[in-house]
Structure 1
């Protein structure tokens, strides 16, 4: 359920991905007073100073998270002058209201909540319905070259591990449990804003309460009735979204750092939103410079630890290279809520250095992306199948003519109620979005690392781009980047 009065969320239509744009705030009421606390991000010039706790306290704040690896803090304060009092420090390079991200909830009563009827194959699997994985792996032939690990009498020996920063995972899903290697929950007790009673703050509880993370994980490493790109890859789950679907910047940054420290080979982030360097809310000027700095530092930290970082391009159908169109879009969408955008919009994390940014291709065209996918020169590195509603819908945009089987089939939490385009209510669902494209590339990066453990992130990216299928305009283009990534080609060098 969505919570109100946190700001707002840039919701990327009904395709599952991430949204952005709210201030992290909470209201505390006593018998005689009501105070509004805000969360802030602070970026120091380099490392955290020795006196940072006293500095924050003297300005009327409380440290919620310290991120020494990137010189950052998440702070809560009810002092309306907190930022101005803090700026006396010469070691702080940026400080601003922290942004809150939001997963799109969807609509269980709408057409997306209806069951999808498909016939299982003779062996009981759904392989024939996985058009995307079949194509990426050349009908499964890449599995014989490199599946990400080897099966032994005691289980699976994983040769590479992918960290999934998302809504958690169904650790007991029959298609995922043999590849699940652990993870961490970053959600605070009662949620990030103190209004989600079901959250206990248990760092070991990575249970997926949304479904998004489980679907993403299946595209990477499912091994059962459906298959992922690397069915023997290890997966680690880093849960950043609370049950309401919210997550500020700081736990995402902390999850990137944790995944890198855990020694994962690849990080997938099927998340994204816009940070802005200059905007106004109800006439007051703001910026997101601290958010952008900490995002950049966290990604650099991971890459320096030899981690390949993959992210979704986003689902607003925007040309990221056209900066004016981004600003116009945000003003057209959110001006009624009191926002006025003047500065440059930066897509985080997809628009940052060190990230492989993935647009969404579809089943039926080699010239057009999925209708929702963002694109842009110098933004998109490669495309991957994220699915859509089929060619008939693409021409008509009639919701009644959607064919859900053109979407991506993957795992869904087995104990979660019917919510999206589920298959036979058995723990499988069709979704579409750049969220479904990004994990395909993360899976390809994973099997490359399994085959070539000494490859750097730059070498992994170069191989993915070199062996991508050149769709769209010849050469690198704004839609597909270097082309549609392909696991079989990457492993065979074709």
Structure 2
């Protein structure tokens, strides 16, 4: 493997290969039985971002239903019988369609922080005590806290965190939380704990709370921007599932709400080529076209955000793959999704990190070496940030500490842990100058990054390791 060979040359030691998946998206089709027919959820994208109401009428007349309308990007989510797919495709206004996959967060390496016996009582905990002891990652990005002297952010700038929600009462987060919204519909996937209430942003998983601490934590732990404002947009349900229409609806809403930065600590893959799906109920094989509607939906949603002057930061993914090798990714997808009836031809790209306009982030360990789990690729990675790497010394202290649900703290690792550090830096920059465009923010973050390995391994580190102090220091 090219990555491993280069690493062996650039390191004076070998470290164990132990790949841990963090927030990698696993696709499962939403399908159910309706009478003797198979019913399926579809994403339909129209040409020129314009919804064809004739298609809507046809679906409803045929017994289907329109579940979601994304008028800003010309897309709809529908529920209908699978046999309608060829007829829907026959409309010349339809650009692409695909079954709306369930997207699930697999298990990630997470270790709960436990107080030592010598720890003080909670009433006597000191400001920043855990930051001083364990947050090597935040210290690295802030030059050992020196950037805090130059800027800590403000509530005039809002970072939208699209994730699993937030522990609203966490002592280290509540002062910077500016609200948010739930995008999980009622009884999503038969999950009766989901009420669909917009205000239900409480985190059941912990991932969203963790991400928020890396950005805006201010208490026992510190985020990169400890006084920045943030909103929590809940897009993963209590079982850790979502889909493309939920995520893209949240991107659009966060943009319309006036967010300045969007953090997407998630990663998946989509095909640019032929996609086939075999209905498990009938055995009928459907040609779903020459493009994946999910990819196009993400692309249009991100373009909508960037065109409204919103910076979008993404995680590169946690499969240790060269994401510039589209054929390799297609092979990976075919193996992964075969049991769900999918077959792909063509090249695959990583989403949303492979979409133009985002700042895509790889993860490094404590020793500033690319983490074994981190995806990479020349031109695919813009910058790197600390995400932790347990495999370096098989120590939890090589992972990253942040906030957890129940007013707790957690050690974690992943590219999804690296991305929020970059989102926080973008927020710090906008706190100084709100006229900056997403392109200008990306350019400055890259220019001021610390060069790693003589800046030779750009496929791993992009422009280098992000540094808030370098950006805020005008000397």
Secondary structure of 2:460 counterpart: coil
Residue matched to 1:419: none
Normalised by the size of structure 2, how large is the TM-score?
0.88
Asked if the contact 2:21/2:319 (under 8 Å) is kept, the reply is: no
Asked if the contact 1:20/1:272 (under 8 Å) is kept, the reply is: no
Normalised by the size of structure 1, how large is the TM-score?
0.84
Secondary structure of 1:478 counterpart: helix
Secondary structure of 1:482 counterpart: coil
Distance 1:59 1:296 in 2: 30
Distance 1:328 1:86 in 2: 29
Distance 1:134 1:80 in 2: 53
Distance 1:141 1:113 in 2: 29
- Structure 1's 331 and 357: CA in aligned 2 closer, same or farther, altered over 3 A? same
Asked if the contact 1:83/1:96 (under 8 Å) is kept, the reply is: no
Q: Residues 375-428 of structure 1: CA distance to partner in whole angstroms, max 9, x if unpaired?
A: 001100000000011523xxxxxxxxx2111111000011xxxxxxxxxxx510
Distance 2:287 2:459 in 1: 33
1:319 matches 2:325: no
Within the candidate set 436, 446, 451, 1:465 is matched to 446
Q: Residues 80-136 of structure 1: CA distance to partner in whole angstroms, max 9, x if unpaired?
A: 3221122332221112211221111358xxxx5565566769836201210011111
1:491 matches 2:472: yes
1:141 matches 2:122: no
Within the candidate set 171, 175, 192, 1:174 is matched to 171
Tell me how large the CA RMSD over aligned residues is.
2.2
Secondary structure of 1:254 counterpart: helix
Residue matched to 1:154: none
Distance 1:259 1:467 in 2: 28
What pairs up with 1:212-251 in 2 under 5 angstroms? 212-251=207-246
Asked if the contact 2:379/2:459 (under 8 Å) is kept, the reply is: yes
What pairs up with 1:73-92 in 2 under 5 angstroms? 73-77=76-80, 79-92=81-94
- Structure 1's 116 and 376: CA in aligned 2 closer, same or farther, altered over 3 A? farther
Q: Residues 165-200 of structure 1: CA distance to partner in whole angstroms, max 9, x if unpaired?
A: 111111111111111111111101111x2x111010
Instruction: Provide structure 2 residue ranges, at least 5 long, that are not aligned to the other structure.
Output: 1-17, 279-284
Residue matched to 2:100: 98
Secondary structure of 2:317 counterpart: coil
Decide which structure has greater helix share: 2
Asked if the contact 1:164/1:237 (under 8 Å) is kept, the reply is: yes
Residue matched to 1:399: none
Distance 2:449 2:113 in 1: 34
What pairs up with 1:378-457 in 2 under 5 angstroms? 378-392=379-393, 402-414=394-406, 427-457=408-438
Asked if the contact 2:20/2:108 (under 8 Å) is kept, the reply is: yes
Secondary structure of 1:64 counterpart: strand
- Structure 1's 74 and 337: CA in aligned 2 closer, same or farther, altered over 3 A? closer
